[in-house]
Structure 1
């Protein structure tokens, strides 16, 4: 009886923590991460990158100060050229070093929330773009 209680406890902890949750279409993230990422994205990123991660109009054209507007993150721009580490670094340090105006979120968001945000916008990438990202060493 005692062994059954221990096994049940382990199973409950695994379920609550998300262990064993299936990855979305074989990708690195889970649906729970995408759902959390959507919330974080809408609260912290959508004002500049758009509610659907579509970026701004003329995102390729520099602004008067020489910086670039927020690009799309939905797979239609260059975000898929950057590894997960580079995406995390950009979120942490901001976009000034790469020609943008994005603020740093290093002290604003947890690492889990940053990864969830990436999961959310990557969930908008079609299979071809996601596989190209993997082929470039995305993970």
Structure 2
């Protein structure tokens, strides 16, 4: 299963927003992304995020290794990194506040991006996650009730 998830996570094409996904917890998940938010999110992403996270959300190839300054480079947001391990609320807080001191160079976007723009960016990159990654994220959210 891990191998299948890893192999499908390499696909960076957007997924059909109406795809029904099966999770290990049983019921199918109807995958639905607000088209308006996705369009806005792509625009905000391209203007504010792509310079670090890559034009397709691919992140830095060495995102797991500290750089010469001891910081972690920008991770992928396309489903091949660790973003799918976190709730939307956690992702939103990361965007608002930036990286923890000594961890990375991501700036906080508080006061520069609206809540709607931040929600839209998250909606955009989640819409690009392969179905198995989205299903794993959904299952984590059900299990952890969004506390991560």
State whether TM-score is above 0.5: yes
Displacement of 1:98 in angstroms is: 7.6
Question: Which of structures 1 and 2 has the bigger CA Rg?
Answer: 1
Question: 1:100, CA displacement in angstroms?
Answer: 1.3
Structure with bigger RCO (C-alpha 8 Å, 6+ apart): 2
Q: Which runs of 5+ in 1 are unaligned?
A: 1-23
Deviations 1:114-134 (A, max 9, x none): 010001111110111001101
TM score, norm. by length of structure 1: 0.78
In structure 2, how many angstroms separate the alpha carbons of the residues matched to 1:131 and 1:57?
A: 24
For the aligned residue pairs, the C-alpha RMSD in angstroms reads 1.8
Q: Which has the higher strand share?
A: 2
Aligned-pair CA distance for 1:41: 0.1
Structure 2 residue runs of 5 or longer lacking an equivalent are 1-16, 19-29
8 Å CA contact 2:70–2:102 kept in 1: the answer is no
- Describe the shift of the 1:30–1:98 C-alpha distance in structure 2 as closer, same or farther (beyond 3 A): farther
2:141 alignment partner, SS class:
coil
Provide the aligned length of Structure 1 versus Structure 2. Answer: 117
**Higher share in helix:** 1
Output aligned runs, 1:41-52, within 5 Å. Answer: 41-52=45-56
Superposition pairs of residues 106-121 of structure 1, within 5 angstroms = 106-121=110-125
